[in-house]
Every structure is written in C-alpha cells, then in structure tokens.
Structure 1
Amino acid sequence: MEDLAYSPHALINTAPPMLELSNVYGIEEVHALRYREGKGGRLSSERIRGKEWPTNGSSVCVNNESPNENRCHSTEAGANALLGINLIFLWLFRNHNYLADKLHELNPCWGDDKLYQVARDINIAMYQHIVYHELMPAVIGQKYLEKNKVIFPGHVHVDDYDEDLEPRLAQEYVLATRWFHVLQEGRINLYDKHGKMFNQLSVVDLSLRTGALTINNTIEGATQGAFRQACASTDYVIDPEMGERSLGRLQFVSDVMAADIMKTRDVGLPPYNRYRELCKLPVAEHFHDLYQWMPKEVRLQDN
C-alpha cells in the first residue's frame, strides 16, 4: 500500500491506441452494428440537398441555432465536438459509403458484411497512409520516421506486424500532440471550388454545432479551406480564439496552454528535467538555467 500511495494516477482510457477510425466505426461491436445500414456494406445515412450525412438524432449539439441548424450526428458523440474532428469524421464517413458502392458495382455477388469489412479496411488504410506518409513526415521529418522504422523508403507494402507486441500509446505522445494548438488558426476561411473565399467563421463557435455545417455551403467551404488555408506558424504563440475561447459559447474564458500543462501533471508525467536526463542532456539546477534552452524571443520577453 505504501508503494501505491506514491504511484501516479492510473487512468482508464477507452480510446483504442491504433488509427482504426473508431470515431467512424465505434469502439465496440454494438456501436458498429448500430451505425450500419444493413445492406450494401454501407453506414446508415440520409441525404440533404443531394449530399450524404450520418443519420440525425443526438442531443449533444447544444450550440445549434434554431430553427435552421437542426442536425446532430447520431454516431459517436465526439464526432459532433470540435470542427476539425467533425470534418474528418464526415469525410471518412462519406468515403466509406463511396467505397462500399464501388465495391458493390465490381462485386455484385458480395454480401453486406463483406462489402462493409472490405470498405472499412480500405478506408482505414487510406487514413493511415495520410497520417504516416503525409502528415507525420511534415511534422517530425521523413528521415526520423525511416530511421525508427515507422515507414520504409521504397516499399509499397510492408508486413512487419508483430502479434506479440501489445498496441499501446504513450501518455507523452497524447499530451505532446496538444502542441498542435499553436498551429491552429482561430478562424477558418471558406472557399468555393474555384478557390474564391466567400466567408470566414470562428472555429471555436462551430464546436458542438453540427447543424451549421449543413447550411450556407459551410461543409463545402470548410472542406476547401482545409487544404487552401495555411496553418499558423510552428512557434510558441497560440491564436487568442483558440487559447482563450476553446469551447466557444460554452465558456466565457479559458486558458488552453495552462490546461495542457495541467493535464501532464494530472496524469503524473515526470518534470522537464527528468526528460532531459533521459535524453542525456544537461539539467537545470535553477529556474534561470532554463533560459539557455528557450527561444531568444521568449528570453527577451521575460526579461
């Protein structure tokens, strides 16, 4: 019991540690079955003005503005949360049904379950390719990924699966990804298919507001904006919209960066000096020792 008293909190995390689109397909079989249409390998959907949407019915979209904004995905609650999560969910949801339809055309003898499973496998593979071969090389570098055998140069297909290795995710990785807050612009530009900007919206004001995506060409404009609008700089500065109004209308004021730091303490991560030791780097004996490792502009601002 004495050892337990000094142990960091053991957290239970229901999110799977793999990139398997649980936000689209659910984390349990009962969820996966509920989201399926039951024919053609498709996910349950509805059409609005010719566009496919998940079925409506959840009550979590508390920021919807009546009467025009009346949709909320009846899928995983998190899909309705933040704008970026919502967009990725919608793109991959629609991609699954597109794949299922094409597979059915090519293989009319396949049943619902096989069409669903194969479309799901292809959808997951496409997502993983984007993450491992397009996103992560831009974030941490192609050479680093190749050196650590995360990806392999010149290989179209690599089968290095180890059934004895238990998939896990380090808490450090989860918390370090919150650094992406500095890359987020507070406002999203909406563009038409020709690249002409027609509107600009506050990102945080679209949290828990799925209904807004269905009107005024918002989903189409935000999708174009996702690849036309540049992200913010890779520095230590966060957009005030993201840092101080992270939940939009649900929260009058917030401090995302302070909350991110507090999350590391809540899960019992070691202090900064300990990580410097692990990396065989000099450690700070006094707070002012940290200045030598801070960016110059931060040192000048503090002084």
Structure 2
Amino acid sequence: MLHLDKLTLSALEKKSTDEMSKLKSRESDLLSSPEPTILNPGPATYGHFRNSRSFDMADLSQVMHVANSALELAIATRAFKDRQGLTNEQLEMGYVSEDLKHTPLGHACVEPPFCPMIPDRYRRIDGACNNVLHPTWGAPFTPYSRILPASYHDGVWSPRVSVVDEEPLPSPRQISTTVISDVDSPNHDYTLAVPQFGQFLSHDFTHSMDMSFTNGSAIACCESDGNSMLPPEATHYACMPIPIPENDPFFSRFHQRCMNFVRTILAPSHECSLGYVQQMNKITHYIDVSQVYGSTPEQTSELRSFHAGKLKVFSDYGRDLPPLAKDPEACLTMEQGSACFESGDTRTNQMITLVVMHTIFLREHNRLATVLAHLNPHWNDDQLFLEARQILIAEMQVIVYKEFLPTVIGMEAMDDFGLHLKRGDRYSVDYNPQVEPSVTNELSAAAFRFGHSTVDGQLKLYGPQKMEEVIAIPEVMFYPARMRHQEFLDEILSTLTTEPIQDVDGSVTDQLTKYMFRGGNPFGVDLAAINIQRGRDHGLRPYNDYRELTGLPRIRDFSEYGPELGEKLRLVYKSPDDMDLWVGGLLEERAPGSLVGPTFRDMIADQFARLKKGDRYFFENDPSINPGHFTMEQLHEVRKASLSRIICDNSDKRLLSRQARNAFRKPGVPGNEFVDCRSHEIPSLDLTPWQE
C-alpha cells in the first residue's frame, strides 16, 4: 500500500477544492444559460429522471453533500494517479487504500452514525448500526459494493473503451436494435408475480439516482428536439448521452439522434480512501421493507398515522389505498379524481402493478397492527408500529428465501450458497460480522435486471367471466388512476398470479425498448439501451470477466453463439472481451432449475447470501445474535408466510377468493392447486404468541 505524506495530501486537497469550485461555477453558468441545459417535464426522458429522483429537497441536500464529497475524492485520485504514474490495475487492486478521515481531505469523508452501547431491539429505519464494527454498512447514502474491481478507462470514472483499439464502445441503442429482439416466448411454469415481486423487492434494497443540478432540476444532455447532443460548452459533466444511429429502425422516424442519459450520483467509500468512484445507493441495503416504511426517520414519520401503530392510507370509499402523493410531478397527471400515490419509495407510481404490490403490503402492516392491538390493548402506538413492522419484515424475508429465490435461481444454488431457511425448533447462527451486506453494483446494474426480459408488454385483465381488457404497459406508467376502479386491484392480482412470464433470453418487449416512459409522446426511451449504458456508467467489467469468475470458459469467438446470433454480436462488438455484462448474462442458457444463466444465478445467490449472513437482525437469527429475536413460537408462525397469504388477506375480495399455494409457480397443477383463501392449505400467521 502506498503511503501519502502531508505535503502530497495538502496538494491533492487544493487541487480537488479548485476543481470542484470550477465545476460548481460551470453548473451555475449552465443554469443561467439560455441554452436548453435543463430537462423539463414532457419528453419521455423526463419520465426516466422522474423514476430516479428524490422529491424531498432536504433529502436532496444530504444526497448532494455526499455526492460532492465523493467527487472531490475522485478528482484527488486522478491528480494522485497522474502525479505518481499509477496504473489502472494498481487503482483497481486498492494500491492506495489509506484512510483519509484525519487528513486534509478528511472533510470529504462521511461521519459515521452514533451507535448506542446496548443495541436497539428493533432494527433502525436507516439501517445503521446493524454491524457494530462497521456501523455504516447497509445504511442509505452509502456505496454499492463490488464483486470485481471497477473497469474505467482512466482507472477512476471515465467509461471503459474497446480492448481492441481503445475507441468508444458501440452505442447501446445500436446493440439493442441489433442483438435484443422482441420474440413472444412465454414460460407457463412461472407467473408474472415473479418479475413484479422482483421489482418490488429490488426497490427494497437498491435505488440509484441520476445526478441533477443543485436545485433538483434534471440535466439535459441532448438538444430539446433530440436531433443531436448538446455542444461541449453546454454539456454538464454528468452527461453520458446515448447516440442513436441515423438509420435507427424506430427512432429515425422522429428524427431522434440522442437519448438523454445522466450518470449516477456517487458516494465515498466506507474507508474514505482514494480510488475509483463508487455509486450511491440512496436507500437501506437490507431486506427491511424500506419501500413501504422509507429509509430515513423523516420519511417514516411522514408515512405513519401515529394512531394504533398504523400507516397512513387514502380511504377511497371504504378501500384503503396508499396515501396520495403531495408532489405534483410524481405522476403524469394530478387532475381532480385522478390518483397518484406515496410510499417509502419515490418510484411507487412507475408501474400500476407496482402500486398494487405497495397496496397489499401496506394493508398487511395495518392488518398486523390491528390484530396486535386487539391482543395487547395496553400497547401504545410506537410498540404496535414497531412490532407490526418487525413481523412484516420477517414475512418479506420468508417469501424471498422460501418462494422467490428457489424460483429464480433453483435449488442447486440455494444449496451451494446456504440460502435455505431453518426448519423446526432451530434458530440460525449464520450471521458473520465480516460479511458486508451492501448490494453489489453487478446486481443493481445488471443481474437483477434480468426481469426486464420476463415482462410481457401487455397486461390482460380478467373479469368475473372472461378477458375484458388488454393494456399496454407504457399506458399505466406514472398513471395509476385505475387503482380507484373498484374491481381493478383484484383483476391485477389475478393477472399477476395466473399469466405466464416471458423466458429470460435476448428478447425484451418493444413496449420497453420503444415506448418506456412515453407518457403522451409518440415514442419513449429504450430500457435495454439504458441498462447497457448504466453498466458502463457504473464501471462494470466486461461479461467475460464475470463469466470466468463463475467458472465458465471465456468466450473466445462470437461463433460460439451460433451463426445467427454470433453474426449479430460481431456487427456491434469488436471483441468478445468488449461485451457488456447485462447482454452476456441474458444470452446464457438457463442453469438447471433456474430462470437465469449461471453468471446471473451466482451473482443473485451471492447477493442474497450477503443479505442473510450479513444482517444481524435477520428474522431467524439466534437470540445471542439478534437483539430483536423472535421466540420459538413466534418463529414458527412467521415461517408460514407466503405471497399467496398476503394476497388473500389483503385483496378487495370482490373477484378474488382463490389462490394457488405458490403465487410464483404455474397455478392449477398438481402440487399447486387453487384453494379457497379461507382454507388452511394456505397457512395463516397466528399472532397469539405476541400476546402479553
């Protein structure tokens, strides 16, 4: 490890301060410029920004403070790299890992939280102090971890280039139109609950935010008409726009040559040292249902009713829906009679099926609080809220490890990575304080985006007798007003638990590659292209590096994909070692018993091993580990949890009275028959073990 002397540190601090001052001055100039440097509401690309932004200005202030600190360290790293003649490989391997907290650069380090000597019984809303030795692990506004070191062209932040000639990698849009197809390949073994619950789950532990101006305005990287990129003098440093080829088979009709793309907000490393940049996760990294409760005490306070332990609701003629959003830009329209909702996550309204998930889990919290209040009338609001939250988190963890993960990665990976829950009268002692639970960049920016390939471009709504309506997915993005229709919730829940997914392969529906976030526009943005560009923004290494890590041989020639697909790949990539992780992962043949190929399977398994073994408050941990442990009787009950039971207990019960036992698997077949929701064949939690 290289030691930094005081003189060097002072020089680096001056360099980073001067450069930051120039960047902020330039940003002020862009904000006051008559040029279209601000992206205003209207175009589809604003929908992409709406999906990542924070609507709370106080929250934004904290985010910006952390992001600016990380940028200062990145500038200092570049200066030190040039000064010392370091190689990219030396930065990748952590050659400069000195803690800067007590140096002239220490002002860029984030202060750790104060943790009490006696740990709290309930996990903190902000996830901090879970690990006594590393109190910031898993907390919001902290960096993603990595499976492999980042790959940047300059070793710090500039996107990687081709290994052949160091020229820029091909346009993600060109890769999307050449390699990614729209082929109908339904997989009737699994239901649409898989991708929808997967999205809901991902919003529990990963939220990357696009950089913005300090006042929260969105950054424009393209001319307002989309015909070209902005000139260099009008371009923000966070811009990384996606070029659209002149002969694009779809966007050329609208004379589009530029798709807006802004880089992810950064965060200093936990160690606060020089090195390549790290991207910020805005929310807690744990499975703690933060998408319902929020990731800061302020968010949670806004969502609580402070009555009988319950969360706020919008009572819609006797139906409890999530509370109405206060921000006028949260949805496409807030006209009278329309509805736009609020939860612990700012992406709630992105998809109406996501709102449905938020609704049933919100109702489940309030249902639990109601039963607990009946059993313990002497409990106050705080105790009812915290106990109901603790139970709901446990239910979520049970559903993930008992139902969702075996469906996605298969039993072999569950065995190999030790992901099975305990049975009988047994607590878990798997907790390891050396395991960092933080979400990996590879999972957030690539592997967990496998679900985009499973999405059907249309929602088929079934009424009491027959199919009534088919809705294109873009028509209900940021427009969840249909939630107010009396039968809609049950219709969607029936659709999610009966309709098949699409296979995980090199196919993504046109609704996501042409019309994503389109609103009232004739075209949208390309989600596949955004996924590819996001991987490059986050410094993900080429697919081959991860393939080799998984134990598979490197792809040496595109002919290994066969003549047709191999030729398509050869048209866009100069070498197999240029291939993006998200593309390569989708193109793998499925691993036995898994929905995904071996590389994505192992990345997902690795992540959920971290989230289980690195979480002291994981629901089944032994009393010697978990300060808020359940009694053995309580543990028996929470292990009964299932998504089907959550649906049965919290639907509107207008059209939905039956469910298959496993909501993720094909229903109505031997072993997964439809049963009445009142049946004990879908076990219910008995809360009497919580009675005092």
TM-score, structure 2 normalization: 0.40
Map residues 84-233 of structure 1 onto 2, 5 A cutoff: 84-152=353-421, 154=423, 158-159=427-428, 160-174=430-444, 175-192=446-463, 194=464, 196-215=466-485, 217-233=487-503
1:63 aligns with 2:332: yes
The residue that corresponds to 1:256 in the other structure is 527
The change in CA–CA distance for 1:96 and 1:262 in structure 2 (over 3 A counts) is: same
Structure 1, unmatched stretches of 5+, are none
Contact 1:205 1:249 in 2 (8 A): yes
Distance 2:520 2:398 in 1: 35
Q: CA RMSD in A?
A: 2.6
Structure 1, 154-163 or 196-205: larger mean CA deviation: 154-163
How much has 1:300 moved relative to structure 2? 7.5
1:10 aligns with 2:281: no
The change in CA–CA distance for 1:195 and 1:268 in structure 2 (over 3 A counts) is: farther
Distance 1:145 1:44 in 2: 37
The change in CA–CA distance for 1:55 and 1:282 in structure 2 (over 3 A counts) is: closer
Structure 2, unmatched stretches of 5+, are 1-79, 92-153, 157-275, 571-692
The residue that corresponds to 1:82 in the other structure is 351
Match among 301, 311, 327 for residue 43 of structure 1: 311
The change in CA–CA distance for 1:142 and 1:270 in structure 2 (over 3 A counts) is: same
SS at match of 1:38: coil
How much has 1:242 moved relative to structure 2? 2.0
Structure 1, 69-78 or 234-243: larger mean CA deviation: 69-78
Distance 1:156 1:213 in 2: 42
Distance 1:133 1:156 in 2: 17
1:243 aligns with 2:504: no
Structure 1, 108-117 or 244-253: larger mean CA deviation: 244-253
Distance 2:554 2:343 in 1: 50
SS at match of 2:468: strand
The change in CA–CA distance for 1:65 and 1:27 in structure 2 (over 3 A counts) is: closer
The amino acid across from 1:298 in the alignment is: L
How much has 1:257 moved relative to structure 2? 1.4
- Residues 237-288 of structure 1: CA deviation (Å, up to 9, x unaligned): 1111122212131662322212211111110011122223323443345xxx
How much has 1:29 moved relative to structure 2? 0.8
- Residues 148-204 of structure 1: CA deviation (Å, up to 9, x unaligned): 112246457542233443321111111211121110011112234x57432221222
Distance 2:535 2:280 in 1: 15
The residue that corresponds to 2:302 in the other structure is 34
1:234 aligns with 2:383: no
Distance 2:514 2:440 in 1: 28
Contact 1:195 1:228 in 2 (8 A): no
Distance 1:184 1:299 in 2: 25
Aligned length: 298
Distance 2:279 2:293 in 1: 24
The residue that corresponds to 2:289 in the other structure is 21
Distance 1:46 1:256 in 2: 32
Distance 2:373 2:354 in 1: 29
- Residues 67-118 of structure 1: CA deviation (Å, up to 9, x unaligned): 4324433653222223343222111111111111111112112111111111
Contact 1:60 1:208 in 2 (8 A): no
Distance 1:26 1:200 in 2: 33
Distance 2:316 2:426 in 1: 39
1:274 aligns with 2:541: no
The change in CA–CA distance for 1:103 and 1:212 in structure 2 (over 3 A counts) is: same
Distance 2:424 2:483 in 1: 39
Contact 2:308 2:381 in 1 (8 A): yes
How much has 1:217 moved relative to structure 2? 2.8
Structure 1, 131-140 or 273-282: larger mean CA deviation: 273-282
The amino acid across from 1:35 in the alignment is: L
The change in CA–CA distance for 1:124 and 1:152 in structure 2 (over 3 A counts) is: closer
How much has 1:224 moved relative to structure 2? 1.8
Identity %: 24
Distance 1:267 1:244 in 2: 24
Contact 1:185 1:242 in 2 (8 A): no
Contact 1:42 1:116 in 2 (8 A): yes
The residue that corresponds to 2:559 in the other structure is 291
Distance 1:122 1:55 in 2: 22
How much has 1:140 moved relative to structure 2? 0.8
Distance 1:156 1:241 in 2: 48
